[in-house]
Structure 1
Amino acid sequence: MVDHETWSEEQASTTVSVDGHDLEVAYHNDGPAQSDEPPVVFVHGIPTWSFLWRDIVPAVAEDRRTIAPDMVGYGNSAMRDGFDRSIRAQEEMLAALLDDLDVEEIALVAHDIGGGVALRFAAHNPEMVDQLVLSNAVCYDSWPVEFVSNLGLPSTADLEREELEGRLDAAFVEGAYGEADPEFVDGMKAPWLTDEGHLSLVRNAVSTNTNHTTEIDYGAITAETLLLWGEDDVMQPYGYAERLAGDIADAELAPLSDAYHWVPEDRSDAYADRLREFLGEAQA
């Protein structure tokens, strides 16, 4: 199991243009360089970064190329002030990154607000997304949740570091099923425990905009879709997965029991197995 320092060391980076801003994007790249199957792209949410996929990427990378970016404002990507971090902007980042990497077709796996990014991208670029996997994803009017809204308050920027860390501890512990792995919690907190990271987290939280998922034409999504959802989540309840299943033409419900919001962490083995099975269906 890789730790967050090693994960960071393994990341590559490139610069893309988003809304006229040149922004550095860090991404984890693994798996075979040459494959007949499209790469599998993993998109995280808030307040996580690509390290969320630490137990999932290695399993998928046995068969497929994997690309797991840090969204702008997150992880090891650009955190400076003065640019939009909304899911609309993150969709632009994803498109620019794939163009930079000369990737024309993908399987797209996403969690939390990364799910909102993925839904927008799949609706706007149906020719690029062959398969779509959504896990406890924001959609419709399901967000933002109170914890994230509170992170976006101006007063959060003035919190003592110890208090901010306490809030993050609570989020990762309460959003987990059972006892949270300290290595996971420490890794998730790490990007935010600097002055730049602290302010960037506030900017990320204030950029949450429900309009960016209520405006999606869900019927435009043509990708084969798997709703791999922690069914005990209270932040993004399973009822939203059922609603997505009704609006996306080719969608399958795949609830995971004993899993809260951080489902790739809560049920990592079961998650990886079901994901690999789904991805393999396209090759059969």
Structure 2
Amino acid sequence: MVDHDAWSDQQSSTTVSVDGHDLAVAYHEDGPDESAAPPVVFLHGIPTWSFLWRDIVPAVAEDRRTIAPDLVGYGNSAMGDGFDRSIRAQEEMLEALLDDLGLEAIALVAHDIGGGVALRFAAHNPERVEQLVLSNAVCYDSWPVEFVSNLGLPSTADLEREDLEEQLDSAFVEGAYGEADPEFVAGMKAPWLTDEGHLSLVRDAVATNTNHTTEIDYGAIAAETLLLWGEDDVMQPYAYAERLAEDIADAELEPLSDAYHWVPEDRADAYADRLREFLTGAEV
């Protein structure tokens, strides 16, 4: 199991243009370049970064090339002020990153606001997304949740570092099923515990915008879709997965029991096995 420092060391970086801003995007890449199947792109949410997929990427990379970027404003990507971090802007970042890497067809696996980015991209580019996996993803009017809204309050920028860390501890512990892994919690908090990261987290939270998912034409999504959803989540409830299953033409709904919001962490083995089975069409 890789820790967050090792994960960061394994990342590459490139520069893409988003709304006219040249922004650094860090991404973790693994798996065989020569695979005939499209690469699998993993998108995280708030307040996480690509380290969310630490236990999932290695399993998928046995068969497929994997790319797990940090959204702009997150992780080891650009964190400075002066650019939009909304899921509309993150969709533009994703498209620019794929173009920079020379990728056309892909599979998308996404969690939380990364799911909102993936839904937008799949609806706007149905020819590029062959498979789509959504886990406890923001959609319709399901977000932002109170915890994230509170992170965007001006007072959060003035919090002592210890108080911010306590808020993040609560989110990662309460959003987990059972006892949260200290290594997971430490890794998720790490990017935010600097002056730049602290302010960037506030900017990220302010940028959450429900309009960017209520405006999606969900019927335009053509990808074979798996809704692999932690059924005990209170932040992105299972009822929204059921709604997505009705609106996306080729969607399969599969709950994961004993899982709250951080489902790739709560049920890592079961999640990785089901994901590989879906992506390859073969039982693992």
TM-score interval, smaller chain: over 0.9
Shift of 1:122: 0.1
Task: Supply the distance in 2 between the matched residues of 1:220 and 1:154 (Cα, whole angstroms).
Answer: 38
Q: Does 1:239 align with 2:242?
A: no
Secondary structure of the residue aligned to 1:240 is helix
Task: Name the counterpart of 1:213.
Answer: 213
Task: Supply the distance in 2 between the matched residues of 1:218 and 1:255 (Cα, whole angstroms).
Answer: 20
Task: Supply the distance in 1 between the matched residues of 2:124 and 2:223 (Cα, whole angstroms).
Answer: 11
Secondary structure of the residue aligned to 2:63 is coil
Task: Supply the distance in 1 between the matched residues of 2:203 and 2:101 (Cα, whole angstroms).
Answer: 27
Task: Supply the distance in 2 between the matched residues of 1:140 and 1:210 (Cα, whole angstroms).
Answer: 7
Task: Name the counterpart of 1:227.
Answer: 227
The runs of 5 or more residues in structure 2 that have no matched partner are none
Task: Supply the distance in 1 between the matched residues of 2:19 and 2:281 (Cα, whole angstroms).
Answer: 37
Task: Name the counterpart of 2:92.
Answer: 92
Q: Does 1:17 align with 2:24?
A: no
AA at the equivalent of 1:194: T
AA at the equivalent of 1:234: V
The number of aligned residues is 283
Task: Name the counterpart of 2:64.
Answer: 64
Task: Name the counterpart of 2:53.
Answer: 53
Task: Name the counterpart of 2:76.
Answer: 76
- Per-residue Cα deviation, 1:190-211 (whole angstroms, up to 9, x for no partner): 0000000000000000000000
Shift of 1:13: 0.3
Task: Supply the distance in 2 between the matched residues of 1:217 and 1:282 (Cα, whole angstroms).
Answer: 31
- Residue pairs, 1:114-133, within 5 angstroms: 114-133=114-133
Q: Does 1:41 align with 2:41?
A: yes
TM-score normalised to structure 1 length: 0.99
Task: Supply the distance in 1 between the matched residues of 2:117 and 2:154 (Cα, whole angstroms).
Answer: 25
Q: Which consecutive aligned stretches of 4+ in structure 1 deviate over 6 angstroms post-superposition? A: none
Task: Name the counterpart of 2:101.
Answer: 101
Secondary structure of the residue aligned to 1:261 is coil
Task: Supply the distance in 2 between the matched residues of 1:251 and 1:136 (Cα, whole angstroms).
Answer: 15
Shift of 1:94: 0.2
Secondary structure of the residue aligned to 1:62 is coil
AA at the equivalent of 1:163: D
Shift of 1:4: 0.2
Secondary structure of the residue aligned to 1:143 is coil
TM-score normalised to structure 2 length: 0.99
Task: Supply the distance in 1 between the matched residues of 2:196 and 2:83 (Cα, whole angstroms).
Answer: 14
Shift of 1:89: 0.1
Secondary structure of the residue aligned to 2:178 is coil
- Per-residue Cα deviation, 1:232-280 (whole angstroms, up to 9, x for no partner): 0000000000000000000000100000000000000000000000001
Identity %: 88
Task: Supply the distance in 2 between the matched residues of 1:195 and 1:158 (Cα, whole angstroms).
Answer: 10
Task: Supply the distance in 2 between the matched residues of 1:35 and 1:240 (Cα, whole angstroms).
Answer: 34
**CA distance 1:190–1:247, shift in 2 (3 Å):** same
Task: Name the counterpart of 1:277.
Answer: 277
Task: Supply the distance in 1 between the matched residues of 2:52 and 2:94 (Cα, whole angstroms).
Answer: 17
Secondary structure of the residue aligned to 2:45 is coil
Task: Supply the distance in 1 between the matched residues of 2:134 and 2:95 (Cα, whole angstroms).
Answer: 18
Shift of 1:18: 0.1
Shift of 1:282: 8.6
User: What CA RMSD, in Å, does the superposition of the two structures yield over aligned residues?
Assistant: 0.9
Task: Supply the distance in 1 between the matched residues of 2:96 and 2:37 (Cα, whole angstroms).
Answer: 21
Task: Supply the distance in 1 between the matched residues of 2:208 and 2:106 (Cα, whole angstroms).
Answer: 25
Shift of 1:33: 1.3
Task: Supply the distance in 1 between the matched residues of 2:99 and 2:27 (Cα, whole angstroms).
Answer: 14
Task: Supply the distance in 1 between the matched residues of 2:182 and 2:31 (Cα, whole angstroms).
Answer: 27
Task: Name the counterpart of 2:30.
Answer: 30
